[in-house]
Amino acid sequence: MRADFNMTVSAQYAPVSDSHNRWLGRILSIFATLMLCACSAMKTGYQQGDRLAYWWIDHYVDVSDAQEPPTREAIARFFAWHRQAQLPEISALLAQARNQVQQPVSPAAIAQFQEASQRLARQSFEQAIPDVADLLLTLTPAQIDRMEKKLDESNTKYRKKFLSGSAEERESARFDKVMDYAKLIYGSFSDEQEKAIHAALAPTLQGAQARYAERLRRQEEWLSLARQVQQTHPPKAQVVELLRRYGDHWQHPPGQVRATSYEANNQAGVALAATIANLTTPKQKAHAVERFQKWIDDTHSLMRERQGNTAQAANR
């Protein structure tokens, strides 16, 4: 599902992860763990994921007293499933990225990691759909209005940062975002390297308005779905199908114009990520290997925690 729906398992293409907005990953905040590999404190973030996920959902819909227990239970179920079903695969993908980052990186290699992460993200989405459907069936008009308001606030901040001001200011904001991801993986960059990255940024800048337009379309589709469910209160099975269709549209925007724009932005992000990776020095590559290994160690530690908890529960 492209960067919005991926967990950035290969942070060597992390600049791609900002090519589209992350609304679905956010509104379905129990997927927060899918992006924790882009966080320098992955283990800590994962361990707090259930609380962060609940906080995020509450921020957008103001969870009622009646909604709180099933929402927390749904989040707990998701994390229990994810720890068992996906952490091992995430660890394997991180190991592949660690090995790949030591070599010249092709756009095809980045696309391969992207495809793998999208597959895992869609599995996570499918796992959560029944619980998301339950929540949607309980939303009130006021909660949906609040969700729309919060989205508008987010869009205002996005426009201010990436779409307003002079061309130089917009370019600087995008460049800073890209470099934040790049430095997370590779450490510091020389002035010469930053100039080369800046020069390679043009295609992503050209797609800025198209990315924002896609962001708005996805939000509109989500709000329309939520209002349809609230107003008609269809059977849960129908809500599940609506959510699956929304996920399909997220992966493959409908209509030739949207699909073409989406793919162009995707390719621009992949190309930029490959450029950054291939500009790095042996010292920077070693930094990236160390970073990936730390995340791999974190996933192994988290899996051991689960095994330990399971054993304790069995002995009670």
Q: What is the mean pLDDT of residues 170-189?
A: 92
Residue 140 lies in a domain: yes
Which of 37-41, 149-153, 178-182, 213-217 comes out lowest in average pLDDT? 37-41
Integer Cα distance of 205 and 173 in angstroms:
10
Is pLDDT above 80 for 2?
Answer: no
pLDDT at 312: 47
Residue 116 lies in a domain: yes
Contact 272, 201 (CB under 8 A): yes
Q: What is the mean pLDDT of residues 160-180?
A: 90
Is pLDDT above 60 for 128?
Answer: yes
pLDDT at 34: 39
Residue 2 lies in a domain: no
Is pLDDT above 80 for 258?
Answer: yes
Cite the beta strand spans of 166-222 per DSSP E: none
pLDDT at 129: 94
Residue 104 lies in a domain: yes
pLDDT at 147: 95
Reported confidence tier of residue 256, pLDDT bands at 50, 70, 90: confident
Integer Cα distance of 185 and 55 in angstroms:
28
Which of 60-69, 120-129, 159-168, 258-267 comes out lowest in average pLDDT? 258-267
Residue 5 lies in a domain: no
pLDDT at 315: 47
Reported confidence tier of residue 210, pLDDT bands at 50, 70, 90: confident
Contact 183, 191 (CB under 8 A): no
In the numeric block, the tokens 């730390």 are attached to: 294
Reported confidence tier of residue 69, pLDDT bands at 50, 70, 90: very high
Instruction: Tell me phi and psi for residue 164, to 5 degrees.
Output: -110, 175
Residue 3 lies in a domain: no
pLDDT at 115: 85
Residue 273 lies in a domain: yes
Number of domains the chain contains: 1
Question: Which residues form the domain of 207?
Answer: 11-315
Reported confidence tier of residue 309, pLDDT bands at 50, 70, 90: low
Mean pLDDT of all residues belonging to the chain: 82
Residue 196 lies in a domain: yes
pLDDT at 183: 92
Is pLDDT above 50 for 68?
Answer: yes
Reported confidence tier of residue 120, pLDDT bands at 50, 70, 90: confident
Q: Could you tell me how far CA 267 lies from the centroid of its own chain? A: 17
pLDDT at 10: 36
Reported confidence tier of residue 306, pLDDT bands at 50, 70, 90: low
Q: Is the pTM of this model over 0.75?
A: yes
